[in-house]
Amino acid sequence: MSESDPLDELDYYTLLVVADGASADEVRRAFHVFALKFHPDRHAAASPEKRERAAVIYRRGAEGYRVLLDPTQRRHYDAQLAAGKVRFDAEHAAKQQRSVSTTTGTLTVGPLARPFATKADQALRAGDLKTARLNLQIALRHEPENVLLTAKLASVELQLKAPK
């Protein structure tokens, strides 16, 4: 792609034709419509240039779809978008996450993951490793980059695999 490519000016919301407050279901529906138009298989009979262009557009839309469906990535993307970046920068988001964790001196669990993390802690105290694992997995769906939850889940997995 050249530097003057119009695709480089489109944010994920515009590309997928969804409002910035769109729900996950709205994003899924929008991506389905997008994929029907730009999926490379739809352009198999087109010239090589058109096939490649459709593939580039589709890859960018798929990138946007993945980011907008992940609550953590979406929060970071929205912040980056407000700063003028139309593409998600995962490295920058990871640095921000580490920076926030380091400066607060503690790793916190957000409001969506907190009930599941609490249930996991209760299950661990009761010795119920399977319930703890399930709740940690659910909590991590809400906060996939949370180091504390990831470490707890790894610990539980090791305990479950250990011979009794």
| pLDDT tens per residue, range 86-133 | 888 777 666 655 544 433 333 467 888 889 999 998 999 999 999 999
Q: Which residue has the tokens 């557009």?
A: 57
Range of the domain at 98: 6-103
Q: Please check whether residue 109 lies inside any domain of the structure.
A: no
Interval 132-138 mean pLDDT: 94
pTM over 0.85: no
| pLDDT tens per residue, range 56-69 | 999 999 999 999 99
Measured distance CA(80)–CA(126) in Å, rounded: 42
Q: How many helices (H) and strands (E) does the chain have?
A: 8, 0
Are 83 and 15 members of one domain?
A: yes
pLDDT for 32: 96
Q: Please check whether residue 1 lies inside any domain of the structure.
A: no
